[in-house]
Amino acid sequence: MINLKKIPSIDEILIQEEIQQLIARYKRDFVVGTARTIVAEIREELRAVTEEIDKNVIFTAIVDKIKLMAESVNAGTLQRVINGTGVVLHTNLGRAPLAERAIKHVQEIGRSYNNLEMDLDKGERGSRYYHIEDLLKKLTGAEAALVVNNNAAAVMLGLTTLAAGKEVIVSRGQLVEIGGAFRIPEVMKLSGARLMEVGTTNKTYVSDYAQAINEETALLFSAHTSNYQIIGFTAEVSMKELVSLGKEKGLPVFMDLGSGIITSLDDGGLKGEPTVQECVQAGADIITFSGDKMLGGPQAGIIVGKKEYIEKMKTNQLLRALRVDKLILSALEGTLLEYLSGHPRGNIPIIQMLTYSPEQLEEKAENLFCLLKARLKDNQAHINSPVLSKHKEALSSIKVITLEDMVGGGAYPNHKMPGAGVEIEFNRISLENAARELRFKNPALVTRRQDNKMLISVRTLLPGDEQEIVEMIAKLIEEDSVN
Ligand SMILES: *Cc1c(COP(=O)(O)O)cnc(C)c1O
């Protein structure tokens, strides 16, 4: 308790030069609030201290803590992360990073007024859904299109509009759960549609659908099993079979594609996924997919298909609750324009990442390795040496390796893409501590591990990330050497 009297008053703190600088930068009330919080914390801490502490030490500690807290609060909690995992669509890391064109469009639209709901031709009220519809029609060949908040919302809107109170036929092999929160049976229940399961987990035939059709049937539903595969003794009904059954019985076919690609990625080794255009051509009536999976845009749910069904969805009151805002629409428009008139391969980050050749990745890995080697030379790190003799050295080894990358985002579950990266074996710091330290930085670096080694895959690095990684690792080692 002997130290409590030494705690300065808030006024004394506020007149300090360093605190005055904070006040000039941030809101005064915010700095005062921060100072109060810190003083209260220090008071609590000092209560337990029995030996005497110098007044100046207490003062400096308070000022330092206020500065630190003010700056960390002002960095916000949503921050940039460097993705060294090699998982391209990492749901925990925000899925698709946006194309430059999308970002520019968001900036322009976001900072100004815009024609979100104004028909500039007529000077009258227009529809926000108008902007993207034409683009989506052009790109996919569909009669109509609609955009909502995410794909879960798209499925929900479609089912409620077309099948509430009626039956929807789904294969038991497709009653999927995606990302722990989206379960086809649950969404179906919420939408008011009744789920009619047919077939078995591993085998469903078109005759199973045919037999289940009755006067209560509203839809034939097919969910893309994007995050798992049933392999072995299996039978799945093809899109063609389902569409021809739908035509014969006069029932619409609803395809929840999930990932939804509009440019074939066959040459990137990602075969076997039908493009949205192919589904439209095959005659699917309603197709839904995510904006931030294989499309490489913002979070959105995209619905394309026959006009009569999409028009019905547009008049559903639920659409008001699922509607997208101007920022999403501008990011999506920017992304789609890149597909229409630009260079998706070069300019949409995730498309580029998914189509790197093994040689390109090896070159990227070699480049990261060389940058690290050059930067760490002074750090006595034993580059390229697998064995370490002097225990003082911070790293045991760094080397270029090949590894396996993943598409992620619940797409291509079994598809491992050959990748490349840098493997780092730390010496004094434990791998856990090193990985945590790198996650605590801003930007943070998220890496992979194998045994006791850190792996940084280069596939998911964006331009400029390499230099930052090098600095982060160098700092980590320097801090470690000081301690
Ligand atoms: C990812 C996915 C969803 C959910 O999409 P969100 O855009 O994340 O809401 C629904 N269905 C399928 C088949 C999916 O792959």
- Indicate the domain borders of the chain: 4-74, 100-344, 353-482
pLDDT at 386: 45
Is the Cβ–Cβ distance between 220 and 193 less than 8 Å? no
Alpha-carbon distance values, 366 to 372, 400, 469 (Å): 10, 6, 14
**pLDDT of amino acid 382:** 45
pLDDT of residue 233: 67
What is the predicted pLDDT for the residue at 354?
Answer: 94
Distance from residue 228's CA to the centre of ligand 1 (Å): 13
pLDDT of residue 377: 77
Ligand 1 pocket residue status of 256, Cβ below 6 Å: yes
> How many CB atoms are located within 10 Å of the residue 210 CB?
15
pLDDT for 332 equals 98
Residue to substitute in 155, 224, 226, 290 for testing ligand 1 pocket (most ligand atoms within 8 angstroms of CB)? 290
Of 47, 39, 52, 53, whose CA–CA distance to 11 is shortest? 39
Structural tokens at position 27: 């809101």
Q: How far apart are CA 458 and CA 345, in angstroms?
A: 17
At residue 167, the 3 state secondary structure works out as: strand
- Asked if residue 224 has its Cβ within 6 Å of ligand 1, the reply is yes
- CA 353, CA 351: separation in Å to the nearest integer? 5
Our answer on whether the CB atom of 258 is closer than 6 Å to any ligand 1 atom is yes
Beta strands 177-178 and 118-119, pairing class: unpaired
Instruction: Give the CATH fold of the 100-344 domain.
Output: Aspartate Aminotransferase; domain 2 (3.40.640)
User: Is the minimum distance from the CB of 225 to ligand 1 under 6 angstroms?
Assistant: no
Residue 140: what pLDDT? Answer: 97
β-pair partners for 446: 83
What was the pLDDT predicted at 174? 86
Minimum CA distance residue for ligand 1 atom 2? 258
- Continuous H helices in 164-285: 184-191, 206-212, 239-249, 276-282
pLDDT confidence of residue 226? 60
Each residue's pLDDT, cut to its tens digit, for the chain (483 residues) gives 789 999 999 999 999 999 999 999 999 999 999 999 999 999 999 998 989 999 999 999 999 999 999 998 998 999 999 999 999 999 899 999 999 999 999 999 999 999 999 999 999 999 999 999 999 999 999 999 999 999 999 999 999 999 999 999 999 988 876 655 678 888 888 999 999 999 988 889 999 999 999 999 999 999 887 655 555 666 778 889 999 999 999 999 999 998 889 988 877 777 777 899 999 999 999 999 999 999 999 999 999 999 999 999 999 999 999 999 999 999 999 999 999 999 999 999 999 999 999 999 999 999 999 999 999 876 554 444 444 433 357 788 899 999 999 998 766 666 789 999 999 999 888 999 999 999 999 999 999 999 999 999 999 999 999 999 999 999 998 887 665
CATH of domain 353-482: 3.90.1150.180
**pLDDT in the model for residue 381:** 46
pLDDT at 376: 85
Probe residue for ligand 1, chosen from 171, 174, 176, 178 as the CB with the greatest number of ligand atoms within 8 Å: 178
Give residue 395 CA to ligand 1 midpoint distance, Å: 42
Ligand 1 centroid, distance to 87 Cα (angstroms): 17
